Amino acid sequence: MTEPHAFVFAPPAIESLPVVGAEARFPVRRIYCVGRNYLAHIREMKEAEDERDPPFFFQKPRDSLVEDGATVPYPADTDDYQFEVELMVAIGAAGRDLSVVEAEGAIFGYGVCLDMTRRDRQRECGGKRLPWERGKAFDQSAPCGPVFPKALGGNPAKGAITLTVNGEERQRGDLAQLIWSVPEIVANLSASYALAPGDIIMTGTPAGVGPVKPGDVIVGAVDGFGTLTLTIGGREA
């Protein structure tokens, strides 16, 4: 037996999410996000020239993952920290150039997630035609709830998606309003990237996005796929 590899410093932890009804956890490989996928949100952002544009994707770092129930600091580098509640899709099989039917088969399960955003930085980057990383891909920007295996029977094509702040409703939409259905999103993504087990996809937010402040408690919910609670702590030093 060979010696295990030595590292010059401790390697990063494996990021993972709990799986509903299972002891084993879902190990996360990549976090993809859809840029816009509900008409009402596109209109509130006034950013698309053609509302039927194909979906576009960006990524958050794997280690920006945050679990249900966490408290995160109000992040540095923003005065406009905003929530976006989204349906999370968890991929369970490898795939490239998938058809819509094949894409459906590659899905392991679903959940609730928050595409937390430094809106001021996102708008600046967009205005200058720069990448969105400063606005979207920062530390602790990817809170994700538990993964519900699709065998549990939830329906990602229809059902309420909502968000409250301190108990007051701020976002409400329905998965039936997705411009691109979940399998279409997965198929489209697989045309540009080789998907692998452990990938998760944030599928876009309905209307009503807005800012939070230290002390706020956010609860996202998607019918059939549970809830996700995030508390905003004090400002990051």
Distance in angstroms (rounded) separating the CA atoms of residues 14 and 180: 31
Our finding on whether 115 is near Mn ion (CB under 5 A) is yes
The number of beta carbons lying within 10 Å of the beta carbon of residue 117 is 24
Distance in angstroms (rounded) separating the CA atoms of residues 88 and 96: 20
Distance in angstroms (rounded) separating the CA atoms of residues 39 and 174: 12
Q: Which amino acid is at 7?
A: F
Closest chain position to Mn ion (CB): 115
Running DSSP on this structure, what letter comes out for residue 127?
H
Our finding on whether 208 is near Mn ion (CB under 5 A) is no
Stretch that binds Mn ion, among 111-119, 127-135, 160-168, 220-228 (CB under 5 A): 111-119
| Residues 8-27 contacting Mn ion, CB under 5 A | none
| Tokens standing for residue 154 | 């939830």
Our finding on whether 87 is near Mn ion (CB under 5 A) is no
Running DSSP on this structure, what letter comes out for residue 195?
B
Q: Smallest distance from the beta carbon of 86 to Mn ion, in angstroms? A: 6
Q: Smallest distance from the beta carbon of 127 to Mn ion, in angstroms? A: 18
Our finding on whether 84 is near Mn ion (CB under 5 A) is yes
In the set 205, 209, 226, 229, which binds Mn ion (CB under 5 A)? 205
Running DSSP on this structure, what letter comes out for residue 167?
T
Nearer to Mn ion, 42 or 232 (CB): 42
Binding site for Mn ion (CB under 5 A): 84, 115, 205
